[in-house]
A and B are shown apart, each in its own frame.
Chain A
Amino acid sequence: MRPGPISGAGLARTALPPVLLGVAAVLLWQWAVVAFEIKSFILPGPFLIGEEFAANLQNVVNGMTVTGRNALIGLLVGAVLGILAAIVAALLRTVDEMGAPIVASIAVVPIVALAPVLYTMFGAGAETARQIVAGLAVFVPVYFNTLKGLRQVRPVHRDLMRSYAATSWQATKTVTLPTALPFVFTGLRIASSLAVISALIAEYFGGPVGGLGKSITSSASGSNYGLAWAYVLGSILLGLLFYAAALGLEKLVSRRTSG
């Protein structure tokens, strides 16, 4: 069923409780920091983080741009490769059987652990290593979900296509790909946050400065705890942005294709 336009009252009812909970949590946090005189290197209060965030907004946004760009490039390349590889594996069983252990091993490897090696391969001054790390992290869920989706064609649809004497390309276009689409988007949604996390963590292992990961470590080692937390806040926002974009795209496409 198509969802109707969300009414104002309905929106308030769904959005208000989490907002209230969030505000309450922030106030409780601030109160605890003040009441128990918690040192800022242990846990700074949310107001201090907010102040630092506002004062260094330009730096945080710059950091988000650098890390976000790496994550986006990784996401796009990893997703395209993942989808293409899944299509090939779905068409050729031998490729699937040969590739399965390799893909499984990629899935098992802690991908960010590759970062130091990649920095030496591509030079510590380039962002390439981070983009590759993000791309690898994206590839795995996109590949597996797409491959699963491509195998979801119902027998009745396969019979139908055969009864129509449809060519294999016609069958792929009219049945296989639309059936797989929701699975592809599930993969992309998982991959979107993985891309940000991987690109950010990869910065901890070296490479050029400017990204959120580097900024968090350098502020923390400079005893600038409020600022470090402001960068963490920036990372959360960036992750949310990616997730929301993937979710929005999924909703848009599934509304148009599955009614």
Chain B
Amino acid sequence: MNNHPAQPDPALAVEVTGVSRVFTVRKGADVTALDNVSLTVAPGEFVSLIGPSGCGKSTLLRLIADLDTPTAGEIKVFGKAARQARIDQDYGIAFQQAGLLPWRTVAGNIELPLELHGTSRPVRRARAADLIALVGLSDFADKYPDQLSGGMQQRVAIARSLAESPSLLLMDEPFGALDEMTRERMQNELVRICAETRAAVVFVTHSIPEAVFLSDRVVVMSPRPGRIRDVLSVSLGDQAQRGENLREDESFFQGVSRVRELLHGEAPAGARGVETR
């Protein structure tokens, strides 16, 4: 998996060590979004962060992306500080909102990161065309975002996050705003894209089946303060083999119920029925 022979080959894509993030709210009441969280992601590994609202999963992703800085602890991305990794463009990112620029075409949006980093026009064009084909939007390259459905916009956003062939993809509920049908189709496509690009993925979601279907490991988090409750190895086999029929598979259902138990049930107090949603 040595995509960058020039760089020292780091053993880990992401290394989060003892990270806390405290938000200072007015009137002095601090909110601890993350409390002493540690997590590693291996190169090429697909890790989902799942948990109820307010468990800090998005905060953790934003810290890895260096869109926010931790109050305590250390984050390394490919062996570098998160800030350096951001400046070196070691990751691609996709948000819940597609966040496309409405005045640019599909191709123009995908070319954006390449353009900002000084890639020449012909190279940009070729790369965008490849990515548009990868996400199955070849007929829409010259359309504007408001001419596309929500699912298509999100596919453009994913193509854009892949523009610079990152070895790490950070995804913050990218399918959260989509309907169930579109969502499952997008998950199938993401599995295929990940198998092709061999990138490591950190994927924030609040959908249990989504986490189980996509991931090698599912990180279950609990809120107030945000902590990692457990990490579950799903191991449903190679990503390339994951397909529509996996959703009917016994191992898939087992994974789903195990994650559900971790999320709802075996809380330390054993207080069933007071599920925090």
Whether chain B is bound by chain A comes out as: yes
Interface residues of A (CB under 8 A from B): 1, 154, 156-157, 159-160, 162-166, 170, 174-175, 178, 257-259
Question: Cα distance A6–B99 when bound, in Å?
Answer: 32
Instruction: Assess the B86–A178 pair: CB atoms within 8 A.
Output: no
In-complex Cβ contact of A178 among B66, B103, B117 (8 A): B103
- Chain B residues 31 to 78 lying within 8 A of chain A, measured CB to CB, are 62, 65-67
Query: Which residues in B have their C-beta under 8 angstroms from that of A178?
Result: 101, 103
Query: Which residues in A have their C-beta under 8 angstroms from that of B67?
Result: 159, 162-163
Question: Cα distance A160–B156 when bound, in Å?
Answer: 14
Taking the complex as formed, is B102 at the interface, i.e. its CB lies under 8 A from any CB of chain A?
Answer: yes
Taking the complex as formed, is B144 at the interface, i.e. its CB lies under 8 A from any CB of chain A?
Answer: yes
Query: Which residues in A have their C-beta under 8 angstroms from that of B150?
Result: none
Chain B residue with the shortest CB-CB distance to A254:
B103
What is the total of A-B residue contacts with beta carbons within 8 Å? 55
Interface magnitude class on chain B: 20 to 34
Instruction: Assess the B99–A164 pair: CB atoms within 8 A.
Output: no
Chain B residue with the shortest CB-CB distance to A165:
B87
Question: Cα distance A174–B145 when bound, in Å?
Answer: 16
Taking the complex as formed, is B252 at the interface, i.e. its CB lies under 8 A from any CB of chain A?
Answer: no
Task: Return the CB mask of B118-153 against A: 1 if under 8 Å, else 0.
Answer: 000000000000000000000000011111000000
Chain B residue with the shortest CB-CB distance to A162:
B67
Query: Which residues in B have their C-beta under 8 angstroms from that of A157?
Result: 99, 101
In-complex Cβ contact of B146 among A160, A170, A259 (8 A): A259
Question: Cα distance A174–B230 when bound, in Å?
Answer: 42
Chain B residue with the shortest CB-CB distance to A175:
B101
Question: Cα distance A175–B144 when bound, in Å?
Answer: 16
Instruction: Assess the B103–A164 pair: CB atoms within 8 A.
Output: no
Chain A residue with the shortest CB-CB distance to B142:
A259
Query: Which residues in A have their C-beta under 8 angstroms from that of B113?
Result: 164
In-complex Cβ contact of B86 among A165, A175, A258 (8 A): A165
Chain B residue with the shortest CB-CB distance to A170:
B116
In-complex Cβ contact of B95 among A156, A164, A166 (8 A): A156
Question: Cα distance A154–B99 when bound, in Å?
Answer: 8
Q: How far is the CB of B92 from chain A (nearest CB, A)?
A: 8
Question: Cα distance A149–B93 when bound, in Å?
Answer: 26
Q: What are 24 sample pairs from A and B whose C-beta atoms fall under 8 A apart?
A: A1-B146, A154-B97, A157-B99, A162-B67, A163-B65, A163-B66, A163-B67, A163-B91, A164-B89, A164-B112, A164-B116, A164-B117, A165-B87, A166-B116, A175-B101, A178-B101, A178-B103, A258-B103, A258-B144, A258-B146, A259-B102, A259-B144, A259-B145, A259-B146
Query: Which residues in A have their C-beta under 8 angstroms from that of B112?
Result: 164, 174
